[in-house]
Structure 1
C-alpha cells in the first residue's frame, strides 16, 4: 500500500489526484493487478485516498489524495464530481499503440504574446453612433450588410 501511495503521489503533481488504470499502476510498481487492488483497499479503508470510478468497468479510477471530492448537482438531481487530475496511461492499453510513433502532432492553440494585438477580421462592427467629419472617417472594417446597402 505504501508503494502504491508513493506512485500516486509521485505522479499526481499539484492536482491532488491521479487517473490511472490498475494495470498501469501494477506495471509501474512491478507487481500484479491483484496486489494493486489490495493496496487500494488498504489506502481507501485507512482514508488515505478516495477512489472515484472512471468508466463502467471500474478498472480505471481517479485516486484523490489529501482533498475531499466536491460533489455538485444540477437541477435534475444528477450529482457529479469535478476535480483536476494527472492522467497516467500505458501504451499497452491503447488500441492504436502500433501507430503512436507515427501520429502527426496536434495543432497548437493560437496565443497572443505580450504586446501583440489581434487583427480584426470577419463582418466587422456597426459604425459608431456619432457621425464622422467629412474627410476624417475612421478606418473601421465594413460590415457586409452596410456594403450591400450602398452597392445596390
Structure 2
C-alpha cells in the first residue's frame, strides 16, 4: 500500500505527489509528545485527535463543544487541555466567534509533504477577527486573518 497520491494543484494545474493517510513527526519532538503523555494524558489525547483530524495544512475548525463530544469529555476538560497544549507550543488556537481554529505547530507534526509543511495554513473561507485573538505563539500563516481596526477616533475621522 502506497502512502503517496497525485493531486492536481487547482491554482497552477500541476500534478503534485503528496503524502496521504499519515502524519509526519520530527524525532526531536517525540520527547515533547512523551512528556505531554506523562504530564497530561488527556491533553495528549486531544493533541493526537487533532493530528488525526487536521487537514494537510495542519489546521482544523472545530468548537470546544464538538471537540468535547468527539472525545467524550467535558468542555472544561477541552479548555484545560488546549491551554496546556498552547503552553507547550504544540498548538495555537485562533478564534472565529465561538468557533476555534486549531493550528498544530508544523515544527512538531504535519500532514503535507516536507516541502509544504512550512505553509501550515488553511484554505477554508473562515474570517477571524484580530480583536478575538491572543498574541500568536508561533507563525501559523493562516489566511483570512483580519487586519486590526484603527482606533475609534481614526474611524470617526474617516467617516466625516
Q: TM-score, normalised by structure 2?
A: 0.42
Larger Rg: 1
Task: Give the number of the structure whose residues are more often helix, by fraction.
Answer: 2
